[in-house]
Amino acid sequence: MRRTWITVLSLTTALSLSACGGGGDPLEEADAPAEQEGADTTGAADEGAGQVVVGSANFPENELLAEIYAAALSGAGVDVSTRLNIGSRETYMAGLEDGSVDLIPEYIGGLGTFLNPDITATSTEDVLADVEENLPDGLQLLELSEAENKDSIAVTAETAEEHSLTEIGDLQDVAGEMTLGGPPEFETRPNGVAGLERVYDVVFGSFRSLSAGGNLTVQALVNGQVDAANIFTTDPSIEENGFVVLEDPESLFAAQNIVPLISSDVVNPAVEEALNEVSAALTTEELTAMMVRVITDGEDPADVAREFGRCQGG
């Protein structure tokens, strides 16, 4: 009988020297997802479990999620390799379609906007329906996770107090004198700069291109190089720096539940069960806590991912 990821990883729980949710993983001998592009992450794969190349976008949280998927598949006997930090959605979607990547951790709202720039849906159910209608042939979604990570517009507490900012729309009268920072694609995506103007009539004086989910954006906001920034809501820097996330009452940023986006060619019962178990276990709170360990504490995403699997199995 095929070993599931949860069963396999539960056997290693007793060997762990740290509590779930605690520090790094001391089990150097444990099977771990590869950290280098194209590296094999398993020993002998279970017969019939298949082969999967797991990719990630170019920001730390997506890399962590890719490692979680890779660990789950490896534990299920799937022959896994990883291609991390591929780039933006525009880049890795091409990889999914040409077969160089089989699986990506996706965010339902961002994927919806990419596939249909005219999407108006904002709820999880409506966005999911729109995405499934517009998915390219050969790609499919597995089960959605409760975990969600949205785009946001964040400012420092000082800026929020100075201009009485609580909602994105409050920027309308002051944005013209401000610089907005964010990843390069935020300047051109429909729910980015254009969306701020369309939905809230907010037009910034300038846009500064910064890395997605990286420390440059945070430091630029702290140092005053930008006045507002596009930061993901699970980013630990928000709490650490006392940033104010401006409310989005008009739902410019739609539901962003995390979901496996996968090539239909590699889906089989082993793959599907392993990834659905991840989605069932993953919550926003757990993801945020893991990101503190990766971003703030500097732990290896592969170690954090492996411990998450063991904790769910214990």
Domains in the chain: boundaries:
5-149+255-313, 153-245
Most confident of 90-94, 234-238, 308-312: 90-94
* Homologous superfamily, domain 5-149+255-313: Periplasmic binding protein-like II (3.40.190.10)
pLDDT of residue 214: 58
Q: Above 50 in pLDDT, residue 11? A: no
201, 174 Cβ separation under 8 angstroms: no
The DSSP H or E segment spanning 306 is helix 301-313
Which pLDDT belongs to residue 50? Answer: 79
Indicate whether 48 pLDDT > 80.
no
Residue 12 has pLDDT above 70, yes or no: no
DSSP string, 65-103: HHHHHHHHHHHTT-EEEEE----SHHHHHHHHHHTS--E
pLDDT value at residue 312? 74
Query: What percent of the chain has a predicted confidence (pLDDT) above 90?
Result: 67
Backbone angles phi, psi at 112, to 5 degrees: -60, -45
pTM summary value: 0.72
Same fold, 5-149+255-313 and 153-245: yes
Q: Quick one: the chain helix, strand, coil %, rounded to 5?
A: 45, 15, 45
Architecture of domain 153-245: 3-Layer(aba) Sandwich (3.40)
Q: Are 16 and 307 within 8 A, CB to CB?
A: yes
Q: How far from chain centre, in Å, is Cα 122?
A: 18
- Is the pLDDT reported for residue 24 higher than 90? no
pLDDT value of position 64: 97
Q: Are strands 228-230 and 179-182 parallel, antiparallel or unpaired?
A: parallel
68, 278 Cβ separation under 8 angstroms: yes
- 181-221, pLDDT tens digit by residue? 998 889 988 889 999 999 999 999 999 998 755 578 899 99
Q: Which two tokens stand for residue 96?
A: 């999914």
Is pLDDT at 44 greater than 50 in this prediction?
Answer: no
- At 116 the pLDDT is 94
What span, in angstroms and rounded, lies between the C-alpha atoms of 300 and 286? 16
pLDDT in the model for residue 189 = 84
Of 127, 91, 151, 146, which is closest to residue 278 (Cα–Cα)?
Answer: 146
pLDDT tens, position by position, 166-184: 999 999 999 999 999 998 8
**Residue 34 buriedness (CB in 10 A; 0-12 / 13-18 / 19+):** buried
